[in-house]
Every structure is written in structure tokens, then in C-alpha cells.
Chain A
Amino acid sequence: AQSVAQPEDQVNVAEGNPLTVKCTYSVSGNPYLFWYVQYPNRGLQFLLKYITGDNLVKGSYGFEAEFNKSQTSFHLKKPSALVSDSALYFCAVILTKAAGNKLTFGGGTRVLVKP
């Protein structure tokens, strides 16, 4: 069975500092990996994805993520955090040959960027 772990419930960072949100996954095949962000009372918004190729993928709002197959990780990063980045972040995985294309989510990490 596939699973996703986000080891930190909350990450606090000062505005302007680098932001990292950690994610590790466990799947039996090749995964498609995603990051989503959720603002209060809103649905999940897609940030970026890893499918194949370059291990460093760039996404919306200056976010990027690095796929590391040996460590089965897909950490989300932003070089300089903004107060507006404060939100709930979810890592998710789809198995490449999954019939239903279901997303399996991690538990989420709340990011608080302080001015």
C-alpha cells in the first residue's frame, strides 16, 4: 500500500528566510508526486508535480521541490518565504499505473511565516 509522511505538523519561519517542508513516501512502483496548498476555507491548490526527468521541479509562487529516489523524499522548498505563504501544505502521491488515479495524501504541514 502506498503512503505519504509529513514528519512536521508545523513549520515556523521568519519572512525572508528559506522554507522547507518535508515529505517522504512509500510505494511499490514508480510514483507521481504532488504538492498542494490549502488556505483557510478553500480547496487544495496545485503547486507542483514530479513525473520523471529532472529531480528538481519548479512550481507556482516560487516554490520548488527535489525528488530523491534513494531517500524516497520529495521536500518542498522556497528560498525566501513570504507572510502570504502561511497555509497548510500537503504532499501527495499517485502510483503511475493506478487504475483510479487516486491521490494519497500526507497528514499536512502547517506553515507559519512571521513578519
Chain B
Amino acid sequence: EPEVTQTPSHQVTQMGQEVILRCVPISNHLYFYWYRQILGQKVEFLVSFYNNEISEKSEIFDDQFSVERPDGSNFTLKIRSTKLEDSAMYFCASTLQGGNQPQHFGDGTRLSIL
């Protein structure tokens, strides 16, 4: 069964540095998402992306965050100047259609900010 893949599995970065988290969604999917899960807390929506633009973003997704689909296969999340509170598990998801279709999640990237 096709899977969403995320790299790296673990990223350690110094505070203030830029980080790029990478995702390869399922190949024929059209809708892409990023979520994050701070340790011990609930999974939180960050951003959704369709047709090469952001569909919706949460309050968490401030100017430090950006997303890009640089080619036909990758979907990236960039954090420009990382803060300690950005430490979390970041999940990418994709779906063929919006609405009632289940989102397929990758295994996540654990981001640790020192």
C-alpha cells in the first residue's frame, strides 16, 4: 500500500537555525497537510495545501513557517528561526480529495531544538 514518507526521522537543531522537514506524499494525492504533536499533548493542525497554495493555516503557523511543493513529489515545511518551543513531532499527511477522505499520515519527524 502506498505510504507517506518523511525525512529525516529525527532532526536536532540549534535554536535560531533554519530547518526544513521533508515529506513525499502518496503520488496521486492532491491535498497536503502538516500537523505537530508536542510531547504529551494533542496533535495540532498547522497548515493545509492544495493547488500550490495554502488552503488554511492555524495560529501556530506564523511568519516563521512556510510550506512549499518544489516539484511533483516533495512537500516541505520550513521553520526559519527555530525556537525551543518548536520541539515536537511533525507529521505530514495527504489525501486524494478533501472533505470526507481519510488523511494518510507519515511516521513523523522528531524535531529537537537545543
* A interface residue numbers (CB < 8 A to B): 32, 34, 36, 41-46, 49, 51, 90, 92, 94, 96, 98-108
A-B contact count (CB 8 A): 69
Verify if B87 is at the interface (C-beta below 8 Å from A).
no
Complex interface: chain A residues within 8 A of B58 (CB)? 102
Complex interface: chain A residues within 8 A of B100 (CB)? 32, 49, 51, 94, 96
A-B contact pairs, 18 of them (CB 8 A): A42-B108, A43-B105, A43-B108, A45-B105, A46-B102, A46-B103, A92-B43, A98-B56, A100-B57, A101-B48, A101-B98, A101-B99, A102-B33, A103-B43, A103-B45, A103-B103, A105-B42, A105-B43
CB distance from A54 to the nearest CB of B (A): 15
Whether B42 contacts A108 by the Cβ 8 Å rule is yes
Complex interface: chain A residues within 8 A of B98 (CB)? 101
Complex interface: chain B residues within 8 A of A101 (CB)? 31, 33, 48, 55-56, 95, 98-99, 103
